[in-house]
Amino acid sequence: MKQRRSGPLNIRVTIKTMSRSDNNSPAILDTLKTVFGFQSFRPNQESIVKSILARRDVFAVMPTGGGKSLCYQLPAVLLPGTAVVISPLIALMKDQVDAAVANGIPAAFMNSSMDAAEISEVYRLLKYNKIRLLYIAPERFAMPHFLESLKSADISFFAIDEAHCVSEWGHDFRPDYLGLSLIPQAFSGVPVAAFTATATPKVQEDIINRIGLRNPQVVRASFNRPNLFYQVRPKSKVESQILEFLRDHRGEAGIIYRTTRDSVTETAGFLQSKGIAALPYHAGLPSEERSRNQVAFNRDEAQVIVATIAFGMGIDKSNVRFVIHADLPKNIEGYYQETGRAGRDGEPAVCLLFFGRGDIPKIRYFINAMTDERERSLAVEKLNQTVGFASHNICRRRQLLAFFGEDYPEENCGGCDICTGSAEQVDITTDAQIIMSAVSRTGQRFGIGHIIDIVSGADTKRIRELRHNEIKTYGAGKDRDKKHWRSVMDELIAQGALLQEGEPYPVLNITTKGSDILFGRENFTALKKEEPKAKAGRRTAGDAEYDEALFDRLRAARKRLAEVQQVPPYIIFSDKTLHEISRQYPATLPALRKISGVGDAKLERYGEDFLAAILTYLEENPGISAPERDEEDEPAGNTQKRKKGETIEETYELFRGGMSLNDIAKLRGLSPSTIATHIERLIQDGRDLSLDSLVDPEKREKLEGYFRSTTDWGLNQAVEYFNGTVSFEEARISRAHLLRKYQSRTR
């Protein structure tokens, strides 16, 4: 199938435009429900939306998954003109536009991947006010003709995504962003909203000044991501450790970060050899392969993407269930942003870091090569913060939030390995004294490795040359392995009993607290940890259980529709929406409309398909007890209990016996639409069916020709196109047959 470019479509959703001076709450809430399918705002969203509608500049720090895209998409729907969204992630733009179009919002993008004709078409749409959202890359502002084109268009406001890229103090500075300071000067009456997921107070101030925001409303949302579980494990044979983790997370999508291109290639190859659908992603790959791998991951064709930390992937995939750091990140900001790619749909996700001290010298090697002393010092400070996060036995969430200047009020976060492990404080004063005695007796002139060699009784040339095998502490800890002494050393450093000082090879110095421990004036305790037990069944999302079998059925239906639409599955519906459907069992279109994430456009486009899947599932499982429904949400003809065993297989056997679709429906007391859904499933499963008795061959050929000519394969649209001369059942069966042919070609 030829890949299509995203762009504005003919939509049936009525978009109510507000005047530029209006700020009507009922209109805002109505748009939230009808266009986006949400019943209420998340924290901070409403105030940001109202500020933009009131023509005020905004600076918002919102965590990934906090719903920042809605903060500019909703005002773009309500305000006349085009909202210009500036994003550095070119690879993401098509998905962002597809997501907007799926909600019924006319949108387009403009970037270097397009040819002159395509760009010219977007300029035409902009000139005639045919789009509400235009996504562009920051470097386009260096083109004078582009700025002039914007000045002649009706621009409602500017939204700057990933705004931390403008700050040299941030972790991902991009010079192209500096040109965005032209916007407030060139468009004095147009509001500017800047968004970022990671910014310390210092970076925040720098962003506001560099862009030139005018008395902006400043929103600093909580950096807490309660749905993310943070975990650090000791790093040993990391590829085998990753494989063990993946075997406990079968069928779940995730990202694995490695530091180097070679390690990315090796890890992806290792996982492939073990039967895991894993693909590599780094800057050294040809752009076509990189793009192809990202698309495969976005569309659930690959379970895992293995990527370099340094290279931004631009992943907007909402159903990433885990992020693994197989190597130590260089800074907390980068780690937070990378882990933030997990659980964007608000559902539970795991962030796992494998920590080994051997990663530190590798990072220090690159830091020491920096020529700018200030830059080098800042990089060392950031690295030490990351090491502290990984090695301190303190709530991971509390450490992360403290980095961004936020206090976490709870004693136990319930969402990290420290807080959920079976932990107790144990007295390790004697072990601490052994370590610090070795530090003291060697004159506080040596580093971690040498001191551990001394206490463990290692027979090294250096120890013999320095005669450290003759001191009293030599071999005092030989009954324990080096990992144990390393953990004691980490605790002493973390709790301030020892300091590492000096560059490039830091030595250990004993602090006042360390002296008190060494001479018995103070006890030393550490946290004893056990790995938290995995929850059995993995049948929960948030705090509520859902029907796994129905979720799998809906996920398969979503993937089929996504293949037809040529979009990532999460753009159809998020996992969160499918989980809610799998709890509520909506059996009518009005009931499906009440599910979070189902707006009017998606209900019209996909509602019948998902409803058919739900009803078929309920028919196959008559013992299911659905939640109590309103009368309008109860399916027609639901007064008598269906007999067990009324399955797709029964439809198949009756059809093979020569019965027509309508005859099967009458015999089984089901609707023709339900039987058509059974046949659709049978076609998709590759069953041997003679379709001529179901759909006239000439009519099927016309229907398949229609579906080939359009990007919207909705059944309503097909029936309307043929002015009611074809039925929904005929359209469904013809569509399934065509899709099966497409799938057969690509296998």
Q: Which residue ranges make up each domain of the chain?
A: 25-220, 228-414, 424-528, 544-746
Question: pTM for this one?
Answer: 0.64
Checking if the pLDDT of 434 tops 90, the result is: yes
d(CA 723, CA 726): 8
d(CA 655, CA 276): 38
Mean pLDDT of 39-50: 91
Mean pLDDT of 194-216: 87
Mean pLDDT of 640-654: 61
Checking if the pLDDT of 423 tops 70, the result is: no
Can you give the pLDDT at residue 322? Answer: 95
Can you give the pLDDT at residue 439? Answer: 94
Burial (Cβ within 10 Å: 0-12, 13-18, ≥19) of residue 525: middle
Q: Quick one: which of 105, 110, 118 has its CA closest to 74?
A: 105
CATH architecture of 544-746: Orthogonal Bundle (1.10)
Q: What is the pLDDT of residues 123-175, one digit of tens each?
A: 999 999 999 999 998 888 878 788 888 988 999 999 998 888 888 776 667 77
Mean pLDDT of 661-681: 79
Can you give the pLDDT at residue 642? Answer: 41
Q: What is the pLDDT of residues 93-119, one digit of tens each?
A: 888 898 898 888 999 999 888 888 999
For 294-334, list the strands marked E by DSSP: 304-308, 320-325
Q: Are 23 and 53 in contact (CB under 8 A)?
A: yes
Q: Quick one: which of 197, 236, 600, 223 has its CA closest to 408?
A: 223
Higher pLDDT pick, 712 / 60: 60
Q: Quick one: which of 263, 494, 495, 529 has its CA closest to 390?
A: 494
Sole residue written with tokens 């083109």? 143
Percent of the chain with pLDDT over 90: 29
Out of 45-49, 254-258, 449-453, 548-552, pick the least confident: 548-552
Q: To the nearest 10°, the Cα dihedral for 379, 380, 382, 386?
A: 130
Q: What is the pLDDT of residues 457-492, one digit of tens each?
A: 988 889 999 999 999 999 999 988 888 898 888 788
Checking if the pLDDT of 5 tops 60, the result is: no
Can you give the pLDDT at residue 23? Answer: 59
What's the angle, vertex CA 554, arms to CA 551 and CA 559, rounded to 5?
125
- Domain 25-220 sits in CATH 1.10.287.370: no
Phi-psi region of 55 (alpha: psi -120 to 50; beta: other; left: phi over 0): left
Checking if the pLDDT of 656 tops 90, the result is: no
Q: Do 228-414 and 25-220 have the same topology in CATH?
A: yes
Can you give the pLDDT at residue 425? Answer: 63
Can you give the pLDDT at residue 310? Answer: 53
Token pair for 423 = 């932990």
**Average pLDDT, rounded, for the chain:** 83
Residue 313 banded pLDDT, cuts 50, 70, 90: low
Q: How far is CA 667 from the centre of its chain?
A: 47
Can you give the pLDDT at residue 422? Answer: 44
Q: What is the DSSP letter of 177?
A: G
Mean pLDDT of 726-732: 84
Please report which residue ranges of 251-409 form alpha helices under DSSP H.
Answer: 261-273, 287-298, 332-339, 359-368, 373-391, 396-403
Higher pLDDT pick, 739 / 330: 330
Q: What is the pLDDT of residues 317-362, one digit of tens each?
A: 888 999 999 999 988 988 988 998 898 888 899 999 998 877 887 8
Checking if the pLDDT of 643 tops 50, the result is: no
Mean pLDDT of 577-602: 89
Can you give the pLDDT at residue 16? Answer: 53
Checking if the pLDDT of 682 tops 80, the result is: yes
Residue 542 banded pLDDT, cuts 50, 70, 90: low
d(CA 272, CA 259): 19
Can you give the pLDDT at residue 377? Answer: 84
Burial (Cβ within 10 Å: 0-12, 13-18, ≥19) of residue 401: buried
Can you give the pLDDT at residue 246? Answer: 93
Mean pLDDT of 549-564: 86
Mean pLDDT of 597-604: 87
**Identity (one letter) of the amino acid at 302?**
A
Burial (Cβ within 10 Å: 0-12, 13-18, ≥19) of residue 717: middle
Checking if the pLDDT of 80 tops 50, the result is: yes
Can you give the pLDDT at residue 635? Answer: 55
- Determine the topology of domain 424-528 in CATH: Arc Repressor Mutant, subunit A (1.10.10)
Q: What is the DSSP letter of 104?
A: T
Q: Which CATH class is domain 228-414?
A: alpha beta
Can you give the pLDDT at residue 641? Answer: 41
CA distances 126 to 106, 113, 135, 150, 158, Å, are 11, 19, 12, 8, 14
Most confident of 173-187, 442-456, 646-660: 442-456
d(CA 615, CA 619): 6
